[in-house]
A and B are shown apart, each in its own frame.
Chain A
Amino acid sequence: MKLTKTYGHLKKELDMIEHALADAIQAEHDILRETSTQLLQAGGKRIRPVFVLLCGQLGEYNAERVKTAAVSLELIHMASLVHDDVIDDASLRRGKPTIKALYGNRTAMYTGDFILARALENITKLENPAAHRVLSKTMVQVAKGEIEQIRDKYNWDQNLRNYLRRIKRKTALLIAASCKLGAIASGVPEERAVKLFRYGYYIGMSYQIIDDILDFTASENQLGKPAGNDLLQGNVTLPVLIAMKDPSFDRKLRDTFANPELVTPASMVPLIESLKQTGAIASSYRISDLYLQKALKQLDDIPHHIAKHTLQTIAKYIGKRRS
């Protein structure tokens, strides 16, 4: 089953959000309009809007307010992708040339800033200060997380706490904020909104850990990039940290990256095999599962509702994700 099938019943709402996204990024300048819509047309799972919608449905659902939150969260995510491609010097995203590759860094920077501005302009339609506090704090943390990621590259001596804080900032908080914003937009009581925030946080942690596992276990075809690419870029993820407890792998890793600029996708192949033999993949899945269990636990007190059921299904789907 595809992830999108778990929230198939949201098609009407998601179509509305898709239209609102397209409207939000209509620029006056031809090329800016083209670059802004390019990423939108490339699609994506729209997982953040989905969480906003589902959590919004657990309160007094107001389609307009929930849509506002969903659109802004997706725009923030899109803007970060455009800038990430400049950071990573990436040529392809979702199998298509990046804005940076087609138009250069300058245009990509302007596009990202334009989309982010539209996200913030749009979210001010929500006058609830709590919504802005949640989102702005999240955005600061996300930016800090990305800066930390640069700092921690090729740092083999970092610990598990570093990694967990990084993925919290990089992935989990924006999903948590999506859940909470949906709840706030629909007037879900604070205590329950906090639980939904935590649900999103735990789901985000689990999702990112599995993403980091898949970097080693999925095929190049599935990933759209060579296996082990994160490690090749110097990103030390959970499977690597666990595998490094094996002295033999630790030595191999440090030897391989003695000169990072000389490491190629081909030289990663034996290293990945060695990592798999340490049992690090299974251990990483176990940690991901712990987060998933915690996510599901947050939903215990929420009364029966199709949105609750979908949040549970998404969590289970994420746990089973293998590609």
Chain B
Amino acid sequence: MRVVVLQTSSIEINSVKALIHEKIHNSLIEKHVQIPYLNDDKLYILISILNNTPLPDAKKKNYIIATMLVQMALDIHDGVPETNECQQHDDEEKSKQLSVLAGDYYSSLYYLLLSEVEEIELIGVLAAAIKEINETKMQLYYKMNNEMFPLTMQHIKKLESLLIIRVADFTGETLIRDIAAEWLAVRKLAAARCRRDRDNNVMSSDIWDDHIANKDHQAIASFLKREIKAINNHLIQFPAHLAGLGAELKDTLNESLSDNESIAEEGK
């Protein structure tokens, strides 16, 4: 799948990524832990949301960095192994220990960043989202095998997008916010399906991979169809100044999907 290249932003993805990597740099963590990658899709949609607000660039950057620090903290904690049985070696033990600490470290960095720029309200908004995300993770974890597939997908969709949705709500942006969750879900699910079909039993720490491993094509296609319909409904309401972004969002989706799933061209 093509990596999203941001065309419409005054803030550039790579420069934000560099700033985040600079903030989280710690040689011991980097030596022993697989640092979660900064998801281009999430950055893309978050930057698009913030670019559709009148906020100054410096503020936008702080919001993006803080949100992505929280995302990385949550992601790295998801990588902590469930049991300690496999940690026979010192390296595995250190990796587990430092994964726990790295997540706590990244969380503290988000708090520090927003404290320094006196964005107290956003600290609370992101904290409330973390709380909700962990509630959802618990629901997912303890119902993993006996929950209906569509409900499971809704939970995962929420996990993927909640931080971004909350930031959008905080800034008052509504247009891109309304398709963010669906757009991310389609991108992630289509990519996971592609990996599954290509690699058969793919071993991955990605939550989407885990949950579609044994699901039939029909169930996945139905979910995608519903999400695509919702995206279409919102995209046709995009005002003129978002036309370029709308086209970009469609293109990136169509690249992820099979021909019979592709998102409708305008006027069809």
Residues of A within 8 A of B (CB): 27-29, 31-32, 80, 83, 86-87, 89, 104-107, 109-114, 116-121, 123-124, 127, 129, 132-133, 135-137, 139-140, 142-144, 146-147, 150-151
What are the residues of chain A within 8 A of B94 when measuring CB–CB? 150
Asked if residues B138 and A110 are in contact (CB atoms below 8 Å), the reply is: yes
Main DSSP-derived SS at the A contact region: helix
B204 interface contact, C-beta 8 A: no
Q: How far is the CA of A144 from the CA of B105 in the complex (A)?
A: 7
**Partner of B124 from A80, A121, A139 at Cβ < 8 Å:** A121
Specify which of B118, B120, B130 is in contact with A113 (CB 8 Å cutoff). B130
B135 touches A120 (CB 8 A): no
Q: Does B84 lie at the interface of the complex (its beta carbon under 8 Å from any beta carbon of A)?
A: yes
CB-CB under 8 A from A87, the residues of chain B are 96-97, 100-101
Q: Is the CB of B74 within 8 A of A113?
A: yes
Known: A105-B84, A150-B28. A113 touches B100 (CB 8 A): no
Q: Contact check: which of A31, A111, A119 meets B142 at CB < 8 Å?
A: A31
Q: Which residue of B lies closest to A129 (CB)?
A: B118
How many residues from B make CB contacts under 8 Å with A? 47
A121 and B122 alpha carbons, distance in the complex (Å)? 10
| Inter-chain contacts of B123 with A (CB < 8 A) | 120, 123-124, 132
Name 11 extra pairs, CB < 8 A, besides A87-B97, A110-B138: A32-B135, A109-B77, A111-B134, A120-B126, A120-B127, A132-B111, A135-B115, A139-B108, A139-B111, A147-B98, A150-B28
Interchain CB contact under 8 A, A136 and B111? yes
B83, A32: Cβ atoms under 8 Å? no
CA distance A142 to B101 in the complex (A): 10
- CB-CB under 8 A from A111, the residues of chain B are 134
A110 to B141, CA, bound (A): 10
Question: Is the beta-carbon distance between B115 and A132 smaller than 8 angstroms?
Answer: yes
Q: Which of B29, B102, B137 contacts A110 (CB 8 A)?
A: B137
Query: Which single residue of chain A is at the shortest CB-CB distance from B28?
Result: A151
Query: B residues engaging A (CB < 8 A)?
Result: 26, 28-29, 73-74, 77-78, 80-84, 94, 96-98, 100-105, 107-109, 111-112, 114-116, 118, 120-121, 123-124, 126-128, 130-131, 134-135, 137-139, 141-142
Q: Which of A110, A123, A144 has the most CB of B within 10 A?
A: A110
Q: Which residue of A lies closest to B76 (CB)?
A: A109
Asked if residues A146 and B101 are in contact (CB atoms below 8 Å), the reply is yes
> Cβ of B120 and Cβ of A127 under 8 Å apart?
yes
Compute how far the CA of A100 lies from the CA of B112 in the bound complex, rounded to whole angstroms.
28
The 6 closest A-B pairs by CB, nearest first: A124-B124, A117-B130, A120-B127, A139-B108, A132-B115, A143-B105
Given A86-B80, A105-B84, answer yes or no on A117-B115 (Cβ-Cβ < 8 Å): no
Q: Are A140 and B101 in contact (CB under 8 A)?
A: no
Q: Which B residue's beta carbon lies closest to that of A89? A: B84
B104 lies within 8 A of A118 (CB): no
Contacting residue for A147 out of B26, B112, B126, B128, CB 8 A: B26
Whether A121 and B139, one on each chain, are in contact in the complex, defined by CB atoms closer than 8 angstroms, is no
- A87 CB → nearest B CB, Å: 5
Contacts of B114 in A (CB 8 A): 132, 136
B61 to chain A, nearest CB (A): 18
Do A106 and B124 form a contact, CB below 8 Å, given A117-B134, A150-B97? no
Q: Is the CB of B138 within 8 A of A147?
A: no
The answer on a CB contact under 8 Å between B134 and A113 is yes
Q: Note all chain A residues with C-beta closer than 8 A to B77.
A: 109, 113
Taking CB atoms, residues of chain B closer than 8 Å to A121 are 124, 127-128, 131
Complex Cα–Cα for A319 and B133 (A): 44
Bound-complex Cα distance A29 to B131 (A):
11
Please name 15 pairs of A and B residues whose Cβ atoms are closer than 8 Å in the assembled complex, sorted by A: A86-B96, A87-B96, A87-B100, A105-B84, A105-B96, A106-B80, A109-B80, A110-B138, A111-B134, A117-B127, A117-B134, A127-B120, A136-B112, A147-B26, A147-B101
Closest to B108 in A: A139
- State the CA gap A106–B74 with chains docked (Å): 12
- A-side contacts of B29, CB under 8 Å: 147
Q: Which residues of B contact A110 (CB under 8 A)?
A: 134, 137-138, 141
Q: Contacts A105-B81, A107-B138, A117-B134; is A124 near B101 (CB within 8 Å)? A: no
Which residues of the partner chain A approach B26 to less than 8 Å between Cβ atoms? 147
Complex Cα gap A251–B134 (Å)? 49
Q: Which residues of A contact B98 (CB under 8 A)?
A: 147, 150
Q: Chain B residues near A147 (CB, 8 Å)?
A: 26, 28-29, 98, 101-102, 105
CB-based contact B127/A106 at 8 Å: no
A266 to B121, CA, bound (A): 53
**Separation of A120 and B129 alpha carbons in the complex (Å):** 11
A118 to B131, CA, bound (A): 7
When distances are taken between beta carbons in the complex, the residues of chain A under 8 Å from B81 are: 105
Q: Are A140 and B109 in contact (CB under 8 A)?
A: yes
Best-buried of A28, A87, A118 by chain B (most CB within 10 Å):
A87
* Contact status A143-B104, CB under 8 Å: yes
User: How far does the alpha carbon of A31 sit from the alpha carbon of B142 in the complex, in Å?
Assistant: 9
* B135 touches which of A28, A135, A140 (Cβ 8 Å): A28
Task: Kindly list chain B residues whose C-beta atoms are within 8 Å of the C-beta of A89.
Answer: 84
A114-B135, A124-B124 known; A143+B112 contact, CB < 8 A? no
